[in-house]
Amino acid sequence: MVRQSKQVLAMADNWRSKIVTEGDERSPSRAMLYPLGFTEADFQAGKAIVGIANGYSTITPCNMGINQLALRAEAATRQAGAMPQMFGTITVSDGISMGTEGMKYSLVSREVIADSIETACNAQSMDGVLAIGGCDKNMPGAMLAIARMNIPAIFVYGGTIKPGHHEQRGDLTVVSVFEAVGERSAGRIAPEELQSIERQACPGAGSCGGMFTANTMSSAIEAMGMSLPYSSTMAAEDTEKAESTEKSAFVLVEAIRRRLLPRQILTRQAFENAISVIMAVGGSTNAVLHLLAIANAAGVELSIDDFETIRARVPVLCDLKPSGKYVATDLHRVGGIPQVMKMLLVHDRLHGDALTITGQTVAEVLADVPDEPPTGQDVIRPWNHPLYPQGHLAILRGNLATEGAVAKITGVKKPQITGPARLFESEESCLRAILDGKIQAGDIIVIRYEGPKGGPGMREMLAPTSAIIGKGLGDSVGLITDGRFSGGTYGMVVGHVAPEAAVGGAIALVEEGDTITIDAHSRKLHLHVDDEELARRRSAWQPPKPRYTKGVLAKYAHLVSSSSLGAVTDLNLG
């Protein structure tokens, strides 16, 4: 029987879990906990119950090393004086499902991950949670749950993959393979070279190695203060990743004891810090979607236009793939995200008084980090010699995107392109046209009905954009879509067009051969069709029949909001 004084209860760590562990009426609950390793002494001590949300799977190399980290976190949690309860959560591989119907489940998996973590933690009245994830949607999915529940939490990134290597091409990532497919289709490389790239691109465990979506979101979470310094760029297979995981467990247990809650950390300042870091490292367009969603869950006002405001004052400091030279392990070697953050802080582009999960402010965490990056390297550029003077993620508007669209605009040789619309109702039909040589310089590809509702699921378009690069058309062909782009995408491409085609957005009214302008400098996306003609087309437009009427995709399509609001599924449930 568990009996404790009121004074001990007031100081106990089991501030939530005591509802299932204390009192005679909870005897059946305790009976079920004994086989899991709990002892009478654990109950009497009022130990916290800590969830270990384990994203391990052998679906993808991004997550294949996570179980060992989860076991390390489990042992450290016990050592710190708390009781761990490990549970699984899903992942899907964006890289494997890319270009298939399965990719429609990618963004959906963000919600499933969030819902599963929230369900397990709240059903079992856990006192805190340590979430470990690898592939792209693991990070935002875990952060959605953490923001919703507002219980002490920390995120542990499973780590980045080390680069593959090719004798002629140097470092490889999975994007190298997608681009090589386009090169092979254009006859620019032999089958043997494609096969060599394929075999060498992914040498082991870890998430895709460039500043693609996984590394972008791990960097954002570190910048927001919800994971430990340096952890977002560590290699999955390196010893320091396991050591950082262990330390994360100790930090979380201390946060439980101090009742340090996520919404004390996930403030407006934290989101602005994350956006600044994403601009500085050249991160993925998906960060816009995910940060809007996390802010909504945390009750923080954040809009798509905030990205444009911060873009204008933050330079791109890091020369990272997909469009640059280096990968995340290179960034880690020269100081990682703390080095980037310190440069932003010194130049008044970061909120130093924002709180972190360690209990320290951002400024305190960065106190010993040099003001400028190491000399003799060019992964991180000096402040007075940035890669680009302003950020790379721009919000474009116009009669084709009245709610906004997202584009990477740095490094594009032709920042303004006007050309005829080449219209496709799906990603597959577009990819086939590119590979068959039916897309010419000057064309503007339009892929529609791939948005959150229309897809459903807002598929990423890495296959067609990589094929464009591989065909040698990256500087002469534009592409717009109401779908998304992989973090590995670059070129004159515009995604997240909102309103999407499925709800009657102007992208649904485009006809083959219409003239379209993409203007990165003025941040315009314009369809050269007069208002009278657009009104005529709109009156004739009919909403498409739902592609799915049962199952998770049908539920998602019914619930999901606009991409301009983060494509969240719980926006209008009240």
Query: CA dist 231 to 46, 140, 215, 281, 282, Å?
Result: 31, 16, 11, 15, 18
Amino acid identity at 559: L
Query: CA dist 428 to 100, 310, 431, 464, Å?
Result: 8, 35, 5, 8
Annotated catalytic residue 57:
no
| Distance in angstroms (rounded) separating the CA atoms of residues 296 and 110 | 14
- Which is it for the CA torsion 14, 19, 20, 25, positive or negative? positive
DSSP letters of 185-225?
HTTSS-HHHHHHHHHHS--SSSB-SSSSHHHHHHHHHHHHT
| Distance in angstroms (rounded) separating the CA atoms of residues 549 and 526 | 34
**Residue 531 burial (10 A CB sphere; 0-12, 13-18, 19+):** exposed
| Distance in angstroms (rounded) separating the CA atoms of residues 200 and 229 | 31
Half-sphere exposure of residue 421: CA atoms within 13 angstroms, side-chain side: 25
- Are residues 13 and 47 in contact, defined by beta-carbon separation less than 8 angstroms? yes
- Are residues 450 and 426 in contact, defined by beta-carbon separation less than 8 angstroms? yes
Q: Which two tokens stand for residue 137?
A: 């949607």
Q: Can you tell me which residue has the tokens 């509802």?
A: 19
CB proximity list for 362: less than 8 A, separation 6 or greater? 225, 273, 341, 345, 350, 351, 352, 353, 354, 355, 356
- Are residues 214 and 140 in contact, defined by beta-carbon separation less than 8 angstroms? no
Long-range CB contacts (< 8 A, 24+ apart) of 368-377?
369/335, 369/338, 369/339, 369/341, 369/342, 370/335, 370/339, 370/342, 371/342, 371/343, 371/346, 372/343, 373/334, 373/335, 373/339, 373/343, 374/334, 374/335, 377/334
Count of other CB atoms within 10 angstroms of residue 535: 10
- Are residues 444 and 422 in contact, defined by beta-carbon separation less than 8 angstroms? yes
* Catalytic choice (176, 276, 486, 563): 486
DSSP letters of 428-489?
HHHHHHHHTT---TT-EEEE-S-STTTTTS--B-HHHHHHHHHTT-TTT-EEEESSB--TT-
CB proximity list for 375: less than 8 A, separation 6 or greater? none
Half-sphere exposure of residue 274: CA atoms within 13 angstroms, side-chain side: 33
Catalytic residues: 486
